[in-house]
Structure 1
C-alpha cells in the first residue's frame, strides 16, 4: 500500500473498521504523518462524544439513505495534500487529476472501466458496512437496559469509563485525556478473567479520547486492564498495566 493510499484510511481507522493487516500498516504510518494523526484525533474525539450521548433510534429511512449515499461522499484530504494539485480521494488513494485521467484512459482501452468502478464501490460499501456494524454494537451496549457503568482516574490524569451489559455479554471502554503511547507502541485492552488476562482489542494510538467496543465476550471477566504493547498488539501482556478497572457489579 502506498503512502497516498494510507492517507485515505483515517475515517475507517477512527471507527476501528480496518482489517488487521491494514490497521498495523496505518499505525506505522501515523508515526510519520502529523496531518493524518491530527485528523484521526479529531475523528476519534467526535466518535467518543457521540458514544457518550443519549442514544436515540433514528428513523429506518434515514439509515437506509445514509448507507445508499455513503459511497458517493468524498473524504477531505489532509492539509499537506491540498496545495497545487487536484486531489481525488477514495479507497484507491489520492491521485492527481492527470494521473487519474491517464489511468481511466488506459482502463477504457482494455475495457476495464466498469470493473474498476465496481471494485471501488464494492470496497467502499464493505468499509461502510463494517463501520456501521461496529457503531451499532457499541451503541447497543451503551443503551442496553441492563448496562452498568463505572469510572475512574487513569495514569497521567486521564479518565476511563467502563459500560458492561451482561445480557449482551459485551463491554465498552470510554477514555478521555489519554496520553499518546510511545512511538511504535499502542494501548492494548485486556479482560481480567480472575487474574488471567485475555486480549480485548487495541485503542487508537493517535486519539486522546476514544470509545472502544471490547473485542470478545465478557463471560467470567471481573474487570479489565490496559498495557502498552508493540504496534499490532501482543498475545499476552508484555508490560506492567497502566490501568486496572473492576467491572461494575450493581
Structure 2
C-alpha cells in the first residue's frame, strides 16, 4: 500500500489503518518517504508555468475592468411629470459625483492589489522553477525518513546547484500561532533555511540559502514568522545525502 499512500490514492479508512501501521514499521515508512519524494520530483520536473503574456493580460485587466453595476430601473411610463424627472436627474448627478469620488480610491486600491498579485505570482513562478531545477538536476540525491505520527520527509540535494529541497508528506498542522522552520546544521550551528506552509500537510519547500558545508537538516516549531535561532527541540533531524 506504500505506493497508493504516497500518491494519496487510499480511501480514508485504509489511509488511517496504514498510518497506524507506519508508526511502527520503519521499512514501510522509509519506502513511503522515498516514493513520495520521487512522485514530487516527477510532478515538478514536468510542470510548465502559463505563458507570461497570459498572466500579464489577466493582471492588467484587474485594474481596468470594473464590476458590472446593477441594471437600470424600469423605464418611466409616459405621462410622468417633468418635476419628477428633474428630481431623478439631480439624484443621479449626486450619485455619479459620489461614485466618481469613491472610484478614485477604488482604482488606487485595485492597482495596488494588482501589483501585489503580480509580485506574488512572479515569486511563486520563480520558486516553482527553482524547485523543479533542483529535483531534476542530474546529480540530485535523496535521503528520506519517517518524521513520526505517520508523516514522512525527504531532502533532495544538488551539489552542483548548491541547493536543497525538502519534500514533506502527511505533516500535522502546527499549534496555533506556530510554524515549522527548516534549518541547515553547519557543524552544530543551526542556520535558518526558511519556513513551511502551516496549512499544508504535503509540500515541497526550496530551502533558503546555499547548502555549502551543511551536514544535516533540522525542523523545529517556532512562533509565526520564524526565529533567528531555534527555540524548541527538533521535530526531526535528518542527515543530508552525500
TM-score range, shorter-chain basis? 0.5 to 0.7
Deviation, structure 1 residue 230: 1.3
Aligned to 1:79: none
Deviation, structure 1 residue 50: 5.8
1:210 aligns with 2:203: yes
Aligned to 1:146: 139
Aligned to 2:122: 129
Q: Which of 35, 44, 51 does residue 63 from structure 1 map onto? A: 51
- Whichever of the two has the greater Rg, that structure is 2
1:236 aligns with 2:226: no
TM-score in terms of structure 1 length:
0.61
Aligned to 1:109: 101
1:1-250 superposed matches below 5 A: 52-53=42-43, 55-56=45-46, 58=48, 62-71=50-59, 106=98, 108-109=100-101, 112=104, 115-249=108-242
Give unmatched runs, 5+ long, in structure 1.
1-47, 75-89, 99-103
After the TM superposition, which of the residue ranges 236-245 and 123-132 deviates more from structure 2?
Answer: 123-132
Query: Contact between 2:219 and 2:236, CA under 8 Å: does it hold in 1?
Result: yes
Query: Contact between 1:70 and 1:128, CA under 8 Å: does it hold in 2?
Result: no
Structure showing greater relative contact order (alpha-carbon pairs closer than 8 Å, 6 or more residues apart): 1
SS of 1:134's partner is helix
Deviation, structure 1 residue 105: 7.0
Q: How many residues align structurally?
A: 175
Deviation, structure 1 residue 233: 1.2
Deviation, structure 1 residue 218: 0.7
Q: 1:66 to 1:56 in 2, by over 3 A?
A: farther
Q: 1:187 to 1:148 in 2, by over 3 A?
A: same
Deviation, structure 1 residue 181: 1.3
* Partner Cα separation in structure 2 for residue 208 and residue 114 of structure 1: 38
Give unmatched runs, 5+ long, in structure 2.
1-37, 71-95
Q: Deviations over 1:141-167 (max 9, x none)?
A: 111121111111112121001011111
SS of 1:175's partner is strand
SS of 1:232's partner is coil
* Partner Cα separation in structure 2 for residue 183 and residue 58 of structure 1: 35
* Partner Cα separation in structure 1 for residue 175 and residue 228 of structure 2: 19
Query: Contact between 1:187 and 1:202, CA under 8 Å: does it hold in 2?
Result: yes
